[in-house]
Structure 1
């Protein structure tokens, strides 16, 4: 069993049954491997949660880097809407909800601080850039609790309005 498959199985289990169902045995069963196979990659439940958090950060960093805009904030905005539209945002709610341990979420807090500081010096209007980034955080939170709240046309309108704010 590959590490990514185990992380996928853990996220699916969390999404389907909640954090109380997240046990190493349940993840191994969901992934179709032995508990020993799971332990080869993740020595504990905490290591598994840490792996999910680290993957979230890495995937979002890659998504931001893949955008082709002229400022970090525009890339961040485009990456946020790409994550929301693809359903990846559900992963954030699931994983962060799994951990009541602040230590396990420390990498996410550090990444958030980095994402909110990155490239502000190069922004034409740093205050507008911060407002847009904070709006993205609000969208993540709202959509993670109600994924069906907005349709594609509403997402497009929100994204356009936030881009307009950066262009003013």
Structure 2
């Protein structure tokens, strides 16, 4: 059993059954492993929650890095590309993953610290990196808000609507 499979099981428990249902035993059962097998990777519930948070941050950072070519304004374009890549995946697993990490972070201030630090890093960019820093901030915040709205109403936008919204956000960076 891999660490990622255990994190996937924890996400499913959180998403389907809520925070009260997230126990090491419930995650082990969902993953089809013994509790000892889970404890090998995650010795405590806090370690499991930390793993959920760290994974979502690392995955998003990797996607942004893949799209960022280092030119002026490319970070925000990469942020939008990464956001829509996750939100439009066929199973919407990326959106569920982000929701699960945010839910995990909400269980205590120490668990929220890494996600808070990532948000600060993602949104408090050096203004010199963007031709229009205010437009870049507006676009990143709009993309951030989209995560929230789609976690509550995943059918808000169809594929055409997603493409149109993404193009509109990207066009705001070209002004």
In the superposition, the TM-score normalised over structure 2's length comes to 0.91
Structure 1 stretches of at least 4 aligned residues deviating more than 4 Å after TM superposition: none
- Give the alignment's Cα RMSD to 1 decimal: 1.3
Match of 2:87 among 84, 88, 101: 84
Task: Report the Cα distance in structure 2 between the residues aligned to 1:37 and 1:119, rounded to whole angstroms.
Answer: 44
Q: Name structure 1 gaps, 5 residues minimum.
A: none
| Residue aligning to 1:149 | 156
Is 1:14–1:95's contact at 8 Å kept on the other side of the alignment? Answer: no
Alignment deviations for residues 138-167 of structure 1 (CA, whole Å, 9 cap, x no partner) = 101101111111111111111111111100
Quick one: distance in 1 between partners of 2:18 and 2:68? 37
Aligned partners of 1:90, 1:35: CA distance in 2, in Å? 24
In structure 2, C-alpha distance between the alignment counterparts of 1:5 and 1:21, rounded to whole Å:
18
User: Given the two structures, how large is their TM-score scaled by the length of structure 1?
Assistant: 0.95
CA contact (8 A) 1:52 1:95 kept: yes
In the alignment, structure 2 segments of 5+ residues that lack a partner are: none
SS at match of 2:131: coil
> In the alignment, which residue of structure 2 is the partner of 1:29?
29
In structure 2, distance between residues paired with 1:118 and 1:2 = 35
What is the CA–CA distance in structure 1 between the aligned matches of 2:23 and 2:66, rounded to whole Å?
34
2:79 is the counterpart of 1:73: no
Deviations 1:102-141 (A, max 9, x none): 2111101100100112353221111110110110111011
Which residue is 1:12 aligned to? 12
